[in-house]
Amino acid sequence: MGVNFPLVLLLATSITGVIWLLDIMYFRPRRERSGRETKILGGDDEAIGKELKESKLIEYSISFFPVLAIVLVLRSFLFEPFQIPTGSMIPTLQVGDFILVNKYSYGLRLPVFGTKVVDIGQPKNGDVMVFIPPHEKEYFIKRVIGIPGDKIRYQNKTLFINDQKQNLDFISQYPPINPEYLVYNESLGETEHGIHRNPYVDPRILEWRVPPGNYFMMGDNRDQSSDSRYWGFVPEKNIVGKAIAVWLHKEPGLKFPEIDKNRWIE
C-alpha cells in the first residue's frame, strides 16, 4: 500500500492544531509580556517587533491549520476524489476517470479508523461503492450485488438474487466477428447499467449467502474483475462511500484532462 493519505492528513491537522493552541495559551502571552518589558526598558519598535514575532514553526502552523482542518472535514465527512486505476468497472467507469465519492451516504465515519458515528443510510443493490477489501489495504470500487441476508447465485454468467433472475439484455459484441467481449444492459434492483462479459460459456453454478454486516461486490467488467467471487465479503466497517459522479477524465500518458466525459454514475 502507498502513502496513507488520510492518516497523514489527520496527523498534520492534529500537530498544527496543537501548536496553534499552545501558541494561544502559552507562547503568545509570553511574547506579549516580553514585548511590554522591552518597551518599558526603552526598546525601539524593531526590538519590540522582534520579541512579538512568532517562530517559523508557529507561523506555518497558524497558516496551515485552518486549510488542513477544512480539507479534513470535507474529505472525511462529505466528499472525496478518487482515480480509477483499472478496467474492472468497464463500461460504467473507464481507466483514467476521476470520480467523486459521497462520504455521508452510508453514515458519518471517523477518519482513518472508519468507525461509524452517525447512521444515515445503508448500501443497496446496484450502488457503486468504494471500500477496502478484506485481503489488502487498498481502495477498491465495485458494484453492490448482495446486501446482508441475500442469497447470490451466478449461473451461466447471469445473476440470481434471492432466486430472482436479474434481467439481462444483449446490446452488442466487439468486434462483430470473433468477439472479445459482449455488452449487456443489466437491471439490478432499481439500477440499470452496462456490463461486459467474455463470450465463453461457464457451466459452473456459484452460490453465496451474504452474512450480517457484510456486502457482496462485483465489477461490471465481469470476467476482468477481482471481487467478492474470489476474496469474499466486504465488512461494513470497510466501507468508504458511494461513487456518485465522474468529474474529470485523463487518458494514461501525456494526455490533457477531459471534462466532456463528466457524468453521473448509475
* Domain span holding position 35: 5-77
Are 123 and 251 part of one and the same domain?
A: yes
Task: Find, among 66, 187, 184, 84, the residue nearest to 138 by Cα.
Answer: 84
Single residue among 77, 106, 132 that ends a domain in this structure: 77
Single residue among 77, 99, 118 that ends a domain in this structure: 77
Are 56 and 117 part of one and the same domain?
A: no
Point out the residues that are catalytic: 88, 142
Are 67 and 163 part of one and the same domain?
A: no
Are 132 and 36 part of one and the same domain?
A: no
Are 139 and 209 part of one and the same domain?
A: yes
Single residue among 77, 94, 109 that ends a domain in this structure: 77
The whole model's pTM is what?
A: 0.79
Give me 235's grid cell: 465488512
- CA–CA separation, 261 and 255 (whole Å): 14
Are 33 and 103 part of one and the same domain?
A: no
Residues of the chain below pLDDT 70: 1-5, 43-45, 47-49, 51
Over the stretch 179-197, which tens digit does the pLDDT of each residue have? 999 999 999 978 899 999 9
> What CATH code is carried by the domain that includes residue 171?
2.10.109.10
Let me know: does 265 contact 102? Beta carbons within 8 Å.
no
Q: Report which residue type is found at 33.
A: R
Task: Find, among 120, 123, 184, 193, the residue nearest to 158 by Cα.
Answer: 184
Q: How many domains does the chain divide into?
A: 2
Are 163 and 257 part of one and the same domain?
A: yes
Q: What is the pLDDT of residue 1?
A: 42
Residue 6 exposure: Cα atoms within 13 Å on the Cβ side: 19
Q: What is the pLDDT of residue 90?
A: 95
Are 12 and 114 part of one and the same domain?
A: no
Let me know: does 144 contact 265? Beta carbons within 8 Å.
no
Are 44 and 27 part of one and the same domain?
A: yes
Over the stretch 90-145, which tens digit does the pLDDT of each residue have? 999 999 999 999 988 898 877 777 777 788 889 999 999 999 999 988 899 999 99
Q: What is the pLDDT of residue 129?
A: 96
Are 118 and 195 part of one and the same domain?
A: yes
